[in-house]
Amino acid sequence: MTRSLTYVTALWCLAFVAAPAVDAASPRPNILIIMADDHAYQAVSAYDGRRNQTPNIDRIANEGVRFDRCYVTNSICAPSRACLLTGKYSHQNGLYDNFTEFDGGQTTFPKLLRAAGYQTALIGKWHLRSDPTGFDHWDVLPGQGRYYRPIFKSTSGTTGTPGYVTVVTTDKAVEWLRRGRDAERPFLLMVHHKAPHRPWDPPSEQLARYDSQDIPEPATLFDDYATRTTAARHATMRISQMNPESDLKMWPPDSRYRETLLRLMTAEQRAAWERRVDPRLAAFDAANPEGDDRTRWFYQLYLKDYLRCIAAVDESVGRLLECLADLDLADNTIVVYTSDQGFYLGEHGWFDKRFMYEESLRTPLVVRWPGVIEPGRVEKRIVSNVDFAATFLDVAGANIPGDMQGRSFLPLLRGESPGDWRGSFYYHYYEKVEGEHAVYPHEGVTTGRAKLIHFYPLGEWELYDLERDPQELTNVFGRSEYAETQAKLTAELARLRRELDVPPLPSDRKKDY
């Protein structure tokens, strides 16, 4: 008990030591963070409207600010979430991969906001193995969660709920806003969606969407990796390598996956799936596509289901915005929409994430704060998921611990131009190559204009001129005309490693990664 009291006292001290960053006379803003899983910025129409439309997410951007260079520190689900909570890189918070349990005893920004008087709630995907800490209320999906009849875990136990996970998550969030919160206190509400994570099981109401159209193919769908290192060619995340049964819903008559999925649905949902999804395998067999045509066929099935999942997420965002308005909370609530990382939508022939290439490194980030953020702004400076913790503490007027490695981007929200803002960013992916997708560990640095990547188990490097080659097709490492750029980025990589106190890389290249 003495240790617990000491810990709580320390949190209260941390929360109030620093002078408030916002006007002390105004009420502290509520904070609503909506985070999807694997939502590529290319599938948000505020960034790129060629594939789909996301009017409710776009509304946040139109009424606030869109960040065009929000980078993640480690592009994989659990580590990204740990970085967001702690404001620290993976090597500092201890979560390098999807298989390690998050240490819930460490300092997180929800704990500090709670100590500063905020009511804190988390609803939806958690994916950190340990139970959530620092929340007055939590109701989360165990593990990855499932799309139909999702199971939720809370302090009251575990329950299964009929319905579709995005809708159920939203129902729970709206219920908390309307009846679960203390109206006398500011709140932090984190609504974390499972969608559009693999296996991209769409809601039955969206199954007909995109039936009459072809989704545009990315220019790099058939990237041959001609100038890249071994890592790109070794990875097993090509569209052509997808699982036809679970990923693409092309079900053989004895499909156990189909049987299990349909069993979780209501009769109405089952009927919709049987009508729309069951004919896929027969249509594929009749067309009998081969080679590149097979990849194109897979791409259309994948993208349409992925975008159907996003349509439900966008509807959820609309419901949450409407709820804030109904409760007269919109004017004093910061609304954030983001994803835990980017995702490949066929670029370089891939799905998934992990690599430091742009589609994986960048994540969508749009923020609305009435009266503070000038509507319709676009921010080009580099921010990161490791900055979120410091930013939310800053807007609440709470102290930012000195060991947080992120930096508050409150000045950027206000439209200010700090002269010392970062001009480069450090990235590090750790997960072992023998795992799913077989991506080699690597680290790198980017300025947003040029990027250096080091696949250290291979002893191989890549350098990209992002201004001339935004699709990252031509590795220019070792070319004489880029010698100066290469030297500068190499030095910057070393400097950032020192600044962030990154441990030395393994010296044995034959290490079992």
Report pLDDT for 10. 45
Higher pLDDT, 220 or 433: 220
Using CA atoms, how far residue 359 sits from 21, 47, 151, 166, 398, in Å, is 34, 12, 31, 24, 34
For the chain, the domains span 2-200+302-412, 231-300, 440-499
Q: Which alpha helices (H) appear in 116-164, and where do they start and end?
A: none
CATH 3.40.720.10 for domain 2-200+302-412, yes or no, is: yes
Q: How confident is the model at residue 510 (pLDDT cuts 50, 70, 90)?
A: low
Domain 440-499 has what CATH class? alpha beta
C-alpha to C-alpha distance for 202 and 221, rounded to whole angstroms: 23
Report pLDDT for 435. 78
pLDDT at residue 8 is higher than 60: no
Quick check: bond before 196 cis, omega within 30? yes
> What pLDDT digit, counting tens, does each position of 453-466 carry?
999 999 999 999 99
**DSSP run (H or E) holding 139:** strand 137-141
Q: How confident is the model at residue 174 (pLDDT cuts 50, 70, 90)?
A: very high
Nearest to 323 by CA among 493, 179, 497: 179
Report pLDDT for 434. 83
pLDDT at residue 58 is higher than 70: yes
pLDDT at residue 23 is higher than 90: no
Give the mean pLDDT of 406-424: 98
pTM of the model: 0.94
φ, ψ at 204 (rounded to 5°): -60, -30
Give the mean pLDDT of 213-232: 97
Give the mean pLDDT of 59-88: 98
Using CA atoms, how far residue 83 sits from 34, 74, 386, in Å, is 16, 9, 5
Report pLDDT for 507. 77
Nearest to 390 by CA among 44, 113, 184, 157: 113
Report pLDDT for 513. 67
> What pLDDT digit, counting tens, does each position of 264-277 carry?
999 999 999 999 99
CB 392 within 8 A of CB 113: yes
pLDDT at residue 429 is higher than 90: yes
